[in-house]
């Protein structure tokens, strides 16, 4: 067994990069002042927050660093965008059925308790949206559109730049928010020359620590603050700043930009090799989601007729970390809402595993997983209650191959 942890669960969280950890350290001990204090000791900390704001704004191409507001996490960004609607006449929100719960649950809450009408756009079997249906759903009373840039479970990318344009053509006043938590640092994410009004990122998904995030709010966008309190973040987010986290997010953003090309090419090659290896060696595996429009680090693979949780436990015994569905939904027994929206059969949804790579994933990590997976799957196939279905599937796959 590998002594090392083979960590292929980077969409759940990532290891903090050295640059982020080093950057944040002084703010626990030497530079612990409050940036709002009048004295120089605290006040000078503000310069480091300013630098972090510039670094984050570089990562996402904001025209002005002042458009970046530091928050506590990706979930807070979505809450801020959805709950921040100011115009009482705009009570229609458009989102998709495959958003992260931090959007879906806020939408459901607004629908149930605040009289909002929500359109939940469906996806096809590849996890893609129908842009005509989307366009038709935009109304005069639509206040906000919330569409994720990349899906956390399948990695499928939505054409959010184009969607923001369509939105403004049809209704110039509508606000467009995109949850870019799973796309920033993985593919180019740039708000410059787009009609996107708000965009959220989360530190712990891009090699910064947990507990810090940022939301881009385009200059002139009217949003009611969600965290009321002090004047921090120019009144947009009250609460003493998480200075170590913010500084680390700045450093991690700089690194994310630096590694972007590597992430797209090297990580994609590793991911594709992992997929090929698994598909070749296990007859009941299939990839979920468009293989063309996907972030390079993610693959969602179903092992039909066996249970995903069991696969995860066996992999965990081999020191391989993966995930079944999103980290937030595992722990409840509901099958993935994303795969169900794609119309994937239940027998495949239940056996779905997400592998998500990062810049720290190595060739030997992938070799190890490809080597170990067949025995795990064969063992679980042998105890599956779906023996005749598995036999039939094997015959079909063998015939196709032959």
Query: Interface mask (CB under 6 A) for ligand PLP, residues 128-147, using x and -?
Result: --------------------
Query: Judged by CB under 6 A, which of 202, 282, 297, 358 binds ligand PLP?
Result: 202
| Three-state secondary-structure class, residue 215 | strand
Q: Does 275 bind ligand PLP (CB under 6 A)?
A: no
Instruction: Give every CB contact of residue 66 below 8 A, 6+ residues apart in sequence.
Output: 53, 219, 234
Q: For this structure, is 328 an active site residue?
A: yes
35 or 74: CB nearest ligand PLP = 74
Query: Judged by CB under 6 A, which of 255, 326, 356, 358 binds ligand PLP?
Result: 326
Of residues 229-248, which lie at the interface with ligand PLP (CB under 6 A)?
none
DSSP conformational letter for 264: I
Q: Does 80 bind ligand PLP (CB under 6 A)?
A: no
204 or 337: CB nearest ligand PLP = 204
252 or 377: CB nearest ligand PLP = 252
Separation CA 219–CA 145 (nearest Å): 18
CA dist list (Å): 147 to 3, 162, 177, 201, 225: 40, 12, 7, 13, 21
Least spacing, CB of residue 174 vs ligand PLP, in Å:
21
Q: Does 182 bind ligand PLP (CB under 6 A)?
A: yes
Instruction: Give every CB contact of residue 1 below 8 A, 6+ residues apart in sequence.
Output: 318, 319
Q: Does 290 bind ligand PLP (CB under 6 A)?
A: no
Q: Does 255 bind ligand PLP (CB under 6 A)?
A: no
Query: Judged by CB under 6 A, which of 20, 69, 74, 142 binds ligand PLP?
Result: 74
Piece in contact with ligand PLP (CB under 6 A), picked from 39-47, 70-78, 274-282, 312-320: 70-78
Strand pairing partners for 145? 94, 176
Q: Does 152 bind ligand PLP (CB under 6 A)?
A: yes
Cα 276 to the chain's mean position, in Å? 24
Query: Interface mask (CB under 6 A) for ligand PLP, residues 90-119, using x and -?
Result: ----------x-x-----------------
Q: Does 253 bind ligand PLP (CB under 6 A)?
A: no
Query: Judged by CB under 6 A, which of 148, 189, 199, 267 binds ligand PLP?
Result: 148
Report which of 221, 163, 196 is spatially closest to residue 60, judged by C-alpha positions: 196
Piece in contact with ligand PLP (CB under 6 A), picked from 87-95, 177-185, 304-312, 335-343: 177-185
Separation CA 187–CA 219 (nearest Å): 24
| C-alpha distance across the termini of the chain, in Å | 34
Piece in contact with ligand PLP (CB under 6 A), picked from 45-53, 67-75, 237-245, 262-270: 67-75
Report which of 166, 182, 160, 196 is spatially closest to residue 61, judged by C-alpha positions: 196
Q: Does 183 bind ligand PLP (CB under 6 A)?
A: no
* Helices of type H across 227-362: 243-258, 260-262, 268-281, 308-317, 337-341, 346-349
Least spacing, CB of residue 345 vs ligand PLP, in Å:
24
Separation CA 199–CA 16 (nearest Å): 22
Q: Does 322 bind ligand PLP (CB under 6 A)?
A: no
Separation CA 190–CA 200 (nearest Å): 12
Catalytic residue chosen out of the listed positions 17, 73, 102, 328: 328
160 or 306: CB nearest ligand PLP = 160
Q: Does 354 bind ligand PLP (CB under 6 A)?
A: no
| Three-state secondary-structure class, residue 298 | strand
Are 123 and 129 contacting, i.e. CB atoms less than 8 angstroms apart?
yes
Query: Judged by CB under 6 A, which of 60, 85, 147, 181 binds ligand PLP?
Result: 181
What DSSP string runs through 147-192? --SB-TTT-BBP-HHHHHHHHHHH-TT-EEEEE-TTTBTTB----T
| Binding positions for ligand PLP, rule: CB under 6 A | 73-75, 100, 102, 148, 152, 179, 181-182, 202, 204, 213, 326-328
Q: Which residues are catalytic?
A: 328
């Amino acid at each position: 067994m590998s002594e090392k942890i083979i960590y292929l669960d980077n969409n759940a969280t990532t290891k903090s990069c050295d640059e982020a950890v080093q950057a944040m350290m002084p703010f626990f001990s030497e530079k612990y002042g409050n940036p709002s204090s009048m004295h120089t000791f605290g006040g000078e900390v503000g310069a480091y927050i300013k630098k972090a704001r510039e670094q984050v704004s570089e990562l996402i191409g904001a025209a002005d660093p002042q458009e970046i507001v530091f928050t506590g996490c990706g979930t807070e960004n979505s809450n801020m965008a959805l709950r921040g609607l100011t115009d009482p006449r705009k009570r229609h929100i458009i989102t998709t059925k495959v958003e992260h719960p931090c959007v879906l649950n806020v939408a459901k809450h607004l629908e149930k308790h605040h009289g909002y009408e929500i359109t939940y756009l469906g996806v096809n079997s590849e996890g893609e949206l129908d842009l005509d249906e989307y366009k038709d759903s935009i109304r005069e009373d639509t206040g906000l559109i919330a569409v994720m840039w990349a899906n956390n479970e399948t990695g499928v990318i939505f054409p959010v730049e184009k969607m923001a344009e369509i939105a403004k053509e049809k209704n110039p006043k509508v606000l467009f928010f995109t949850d870019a938590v799973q796309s920033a640092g993985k593919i180019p994410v740039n708000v410059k020359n787009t009609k996107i009004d708000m965009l959220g990122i989360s530190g712990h998904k891009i090699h910064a620590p947990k507990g810090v995030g940022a939301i881009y709010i385009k200059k002139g966008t009217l949003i009611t603050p969600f965290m009321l309190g002090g004047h921090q973040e120019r009144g947009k987010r009250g609460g003493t700043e998480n200075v170590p986290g913010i500084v680390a997010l700045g450093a991690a953003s700089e690194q994310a930009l630096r590694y972007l090309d590597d992430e797209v090419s090297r990580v994609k090659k590793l991911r594709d090799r992992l997929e090929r290896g698994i598909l070749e060696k296990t007859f009941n595996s299939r990839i979920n989601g468009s293989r063309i429009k996907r972030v390079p680090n993610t693959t969602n693979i179903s092992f039909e007729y066996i249970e995903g949780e069991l696969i995860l436990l066996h992999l965990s015994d081999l020191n391989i970390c993966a995930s079944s569905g999103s980290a937030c939904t595992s722990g409840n027994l509901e099958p993935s809402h994303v795969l169900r929206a794609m119309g994937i059969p239940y027998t495949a949804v239940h056996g779905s595993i997400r592998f998500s790579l990062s810049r720290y994933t190595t060739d030997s990590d992938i070799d190890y997983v490809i080597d170990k997976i067949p025995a795990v799957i064969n063992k679980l196939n042998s105890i599956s209650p779906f023996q005749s279905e598995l036999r039939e599937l094997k015959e079909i796959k063998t015939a196709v191959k032959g």
